Amino acid sequence: MRILSIFLIFLFSLGGSAQNSNDSLSIRVKNLSELEEALGNSNPGDTIIMANGKWTDVGIQIIANGEKNLPIVIMAEEKGKVFIEGESFLKIGGDFIVVEGLIFQNGYTPNNTVIDFKVDNDHIANNSRVTNCVIEGFTQPSRETQDRWIEFWGRNNQLDHSYIAGKSNSGPTLRVYLKGNENINTHHQIVHNYFGPRPRKGGPHAETIQIGSSETSMTPAYVNIADNLFYRCNGEVEIISSKSNFNTFKNNVFFESEGSLVLRHGNYASIDGNIFIGNDNSEFIGGIRVINTGHWITNNYFYKLKGTEFRSPLAVMNGIPKSPLNRYNQVTDVVAAYNSFVDTKSPWHFSVGSNTDQAGVLPASEIRSARPERVLMANNLVYNEKVQESPIVAYDTVDGVTFKNNILNYENKGSVQDSGIVRKDFKIKKISEYLYVPEHDFNVTYHGFDFEKIDKDLLGRDRTGNNSPGAFKLPVAEQVNLFKQENYGPKWFQPEIIGKKGKTLRVSTSTEFLRKLEEAEAGDILELAEGDYKFESSISISKGIIIRSQNKSDKAILDFSETNLSSAFKLKPKASLKIQDVILQGNSRMNAFQTLDDNMSVAYNLWIKGSEVSDFSELLQVSKGSFADTISIADSKFKNLKGGLSLAEEIDDKGEYNAEFVIIKNSSFENISTEVLNYYRGGYDESTIGGTLIFKGNTVKNSGVAQETEVLLRTRGIVNLELANNTFLNNPVKYIAILWGAKGQEPVNNTIKNSGEIKVEENLKQKLMY
């Protein structure tokens, strides 16, 4: 049955591809079978309208062929009113298909992709487009289940003006596949999208975009990623992992995203006119990391970035001589010119990853000793408000880099001195939020081989003639309207604002507590009157909630001591629990906090402040696959526990770990019979440089008495660690902790009495992951 709908279609004015011709038909469909029938009958130029409402558990497969200027369009009846939910997906296999205006939410894909530019090997999309769509939180129930939300196959496909956010599970958000001659020389366009928050995953496989893989890294991909916003894409150390040749990255904004644009495999990338904004927010926010040959990095702007090494604003790596296909080729023939670095702590890091000192624990094929060669740094501009020691951090001899006309506003006090790094006093002025340019021009630029091709600046203005170093041709008008969040993604869609203020709900009995917890919205505060709250069931948390005593000096008591529960609190996906000024009383059979055993689809957080916790088995017991973004403990007391924080379930040695940040300050631990902390990351892999422990100002006493306990604070494989100003008293263990010297870990100012030693092991032998 074919229903003809006659009404006007306003097609978002997004260029010619979605325009309807006079002879073409529009048909409105209300369910999957109608859609399938309409597709089966479709002709070039036809439009299929998906009715407003929820489409649940739909596997949409589009096998059809439009023509140039006569695409087949599948679109939402009204923008933002067609919801794809449940176990659903969309696959496109054919030529000149356009899909518009769908929102994927409240569900997940039952197979490997949410949107796939391929139905099967005989039906691959070409010249097709997904536009004005939203995928939000469409994440797998289990974080360990791997999928990709968008898979590119074929050639000349496009994703534009879409909003993509909230992928928590394993697998890059968007991946371009290059296997097979049908899928190379792609010229795919990924433009004007809003890649919203992707939470930290804890381990690899959480890129926002991956283009190819090491096995296809020799292919010419020609993927264009331009004019996108990457907003807090924190999944892992690589926001974009370029693993193929001839890709371009132009005019994207990377906003407070913990990771880098990484040229991981493949060669001849063009990275031009991108903006990296760190706002000094985190040391995890990086810039561009360079591996391989022939890249041109021009007109980029780096602002308030304080990352180092892998996460430097510009990290140029050492390679492995004659590297295996999946490891690190030497950097050669790279040009970095006309970039601006404003208030970046140390803008340029060379020979990052040099590990010649680890020859004892790594095979020869892992030693990155091949220094960058034939690298040209020219016409770059570095401004730091505060005086910095050196613009260059070098992990090996810098003998393969030529410097020409790089301008600094402060004295270079580093070991790498070069006449091509010039100090000039200059001031900057603001031209837009985050963007600053020199007040006056320098009237000198270096002209290198092929530099005439750098003919535009970051704003697209002509560079020929009188040129300027840095990302902007000077002068620049005072008001440049360069970066606005709302310019990215669908115009009709506004992402939820994170971190809104909650309301306070007062409770004085445990019944009331449970009822109000149920009713509370994310961000609300449960404020407890003084008293003893006896619970007979676990308290489940699956949203942001603060539990605190009304009166600090008369702490409410949450009492679980007379139950047979497995835990006092059950932390579910999206739990973000703050406990403040509360007394938690248990018994030795139960844990204080515990995650679900599986389907911990989204990360959780746990804050404990000014509280007292006693008489439990474990303080926190987590499951494999669960992930805490932050566990923060401050000003609290823990007593009579079997164990402390147990974050060591990721034992596959694939780089995964159970928590990103563990921060324990000014707290006391007494009579913890086994480990106070067991925090583990296994597998040798520089792409997981995470796991952070801050353990400062704490007192641990009479703990670790259980016979099998050898180490009080287990932190094996955790990369970032501070251990300072603690007191350890009468803990009968061999080691308080074994630190990882090569990662710069060292104990500072700890007082140790009768408590074993703190050992520093320079190199940690780890299992190779690949």
For position 326 contacting a copy of itself by CB under 8 A, the verdict is yes
Nearest distance from C-beta of residue 305 to a copy of itself, angstroms = 28
Tell which residue, 156, 230, 224, 227, has the closest CA to residue 198.
Answer: 230
329, 340, 346, 549: which one binds a copy of itself (CB under 8 A): 329
Q: Under the phi-then-psi rule, with left for phi > 0, alpha for psi from -120 to 50, and beta for the rest, what region is 221?
A: alpha
Nearest distance from C-beta of residue 477 to a copy of itself, angstroms = 34
Residue 283 or 373: the one with the smaller Cβ distance to a copy of itself is 373
493-498 long-range contacts, CB within 8 A, separation 24+: 493/80, 493/103, 493/134, 493/163, 495/136, 495/163, 495/165, 495/194, 495/196, 498/197
Residues 335-354 that bind a copy of itself (CB under 8 A): 335
> How many Å apart are CA 686 and CA 458, to the nearest integer?
32
How far from chain centre, in Å, is Cα 686?
Answer: 15
β partners of residue 193 = none
> How many Å apart are CA 82 and CA 101, to the nearest integer?
7
Instruction: Give the three-class secondary structure for 88.
Output: coil
Nearest distance from C-beta of residue 520 to a copy of itself, angstroms = 52
Nearest distance from C-beta of residue 428 to a copy of itself, angstroms = 32
Nearest distance from C-beta of residue 323 to a copy of itself, angstroms = 6
For position 767 contacting a copy of itself by CB under 8 A, the verdict is no
Instruction: Tell me how crowded residue 494 is: count the other CB atoms within 10 A of its CB.
Output: 12
For position 459 contacting a copy of itself by CB under 8 A, the verdict is no
Show Cβ contacts of residue 613 under 8 Å, excluding neighbours closer than 6 positions. 583, 584, 586, 592, 619, 636, 637, 638, 639, 641
Residue 152 · residue 175 · CB < 8 Å? yes
Nearest distance from C-beta of residue 598 to a copy of itself, angstroms = 33
Residue 93 · residue 116 · CB < 8 Å? no
β partners of residue 115 = 90, 150
Q: Which stretch binds a copy of itself (CB under 8 A): 131-139, 328-336, 465-473, 710-718?
A: 328-336
β partners of residue 634 = 609, 665
Instruction: Give the three-class secondary structure for 505.
Output: strand
Residue 220 or 502: the one with the smaller Cβ distance to a copy of itself is 220
* Phi and psi torsions of 365, nearest 5°: -75, 5
Residue 33 or 326: the one with the smaller Cβ distance to a copy of itself is 326
Nearest distance from C-beta of residue 209 to a copy of itself, angstroms = 22
Tell which residue, 531, 576, 577, 522, has the closest CA to residue 558.
Answer: 531
Residue 333 or 598: the one with the smaller Cβ distance to a copy of itself is 333
Nearest distance from C-beta of residue 515 to a copy of itself, angstroms = 59
268, 426, 483, 607: which one binds a copy of itself (CB under 8 A): 268
β partners of residue 591 = 567
Q: Which stretch binds a copy of itself (CB under 8 A): 45-53, 332-340, 408-416, 681-689?
A: 332-340
Residues 641-670 that bind a copy of itself (CB under 8 A): none
324, 413, 496, 536: which one binds a copy of itself (CB under 8 A): 324
Nearest distance from C-beta of residue 324 to a copy of itself, angstroms = 5
Residues 153-192 that bind a copy of itself (CB under 8 A): 179-182, 184
> How many Å apart are CA 45 and CA 90, to the nearest integer?
20
Residue 323 or 405: the one with the smaller Cβ distance to a copy of itself is 323
> How many Å apart are CA 234 and CA 231, to the nearest integer?
9
Nearest distance from C-beta of residue 577 to a copy of itself, angstroms = 44
Calculate the alpha carbon distances from 556 to 182, 526, 529, 570, 576 in Å: 66, 12, 7, 19, 20
Nearest distance from C-beta of residue 439 to a copy of itself, angstroms = 34
13, 16, 360, 449: which one binds a copy of itself (CB under 8 A): 449
Residues 194-233 that bind a copy of itself (CB under 8 A): 214-215, 218-220
19, 234, 267, 617: which one binds a copy of itself (CB under 8 A): 267
Residue 10 or 449: the one with the smaller Cβ distance to a copy of itself is 449
Tell which residue, 174, 271, 258, 266, has the closest CA to residue 218.
Answer: 266
Residue 293 or 626: the one with the smaller Cβ distance to a copy of itself is 293
Find tokens 């000024």 and name the residue. 581
Handedness of CA 6, 8, 10, 15 (dihedral sign): positive
Q: Which stretch binds a copy of itself (CB under 8 A): 193-201, 249-257, 287-295, 407-415?
A: 287-295
Nearest distance from C-beta of residue 334 to a copy of itself, angstroms = 9
293, 388, 646, 678: which one binds a copy of itself (CB under 8 A): 293
Buried b (16+ CB within 10 A) or exposed e, 706-728: eeebebbbbbbbbbbbebebbeb
Nearest distance from C-beta of residue 294 to a copy of itself, angstroms = 7
Q: Which stretch binds a copy of itself (CB under 8 A): 39-47, 331-339, 634-642, 725-733?
A: 331-339
Instruction: Tell me how crowded residue 443 is: count the other CB atoms within 10 A of its CB.
Output: 10
Tell which residue, 339, 336, 199, has the closest CA to residue 263.
Answer: 336
Tell which residue, 237, 385, 243, has the closest CA to residue 312.
Answer: 237
Calculate the alpha carbon distances from 614 to 531, 550, 581, 642, 731 in Å: 17, 21, 14, 10, 18
Tell which residue, 585, 577, 580, has the closest CA to residue 609.
Answer: 580
Residue 146 or 326: the one with the smaller Cβ distance to a copy of itself is 326
Residues 475-514 that bind a copy of itself (CB under 8 A): none
Residue 12 or 268: the one with the smaller Cβ distance to a copy of itself is 268
Residue 156 or 725: the one with the smaller Cβ distance to a copy of itself is 156
Residue 375 or 421: the one with the smaller Cβ distance to a copy of itself is 375
Nearest distance from C-beta of residue 673 to a copy of itself, angstroms = 46
Nearest distance from C-beta of residue 292 to a copy of itself, angstroms = 7
Residue 239 or 335: the one with the smaller Cβ distance to a copy of itself is 335
Residue 13 or 181: the one with the smaller Cβ distance to a copy of itself is 181
Residue 126 · residue 154 · CB < 8 Å? yes
17, 139, 168, 323: which one binds a copy of itself (CB under 8 A): 323
Nearest distance from C-beta of residue 703 to a copy of itself, angstroms = 46
Instruction: Give the three-class secondary structure for 526.
Output: strand
Q: Which two tokens stand for residue 123?
A: 């039906």
Q: How many residues contact a copy of itself, by CB under 8 A?
A: 32
322, 413, 429, 589: which one binds a copy of itself (CB under 8 A): 322
Residues found near a copy of itself in the complex (CB under 8 A): 179-182, 184, 214-215, 218-220, 245, 267-268, 292-294, 322-327, 329-330, 332-333, 335, 365, 374, 449-450, 770
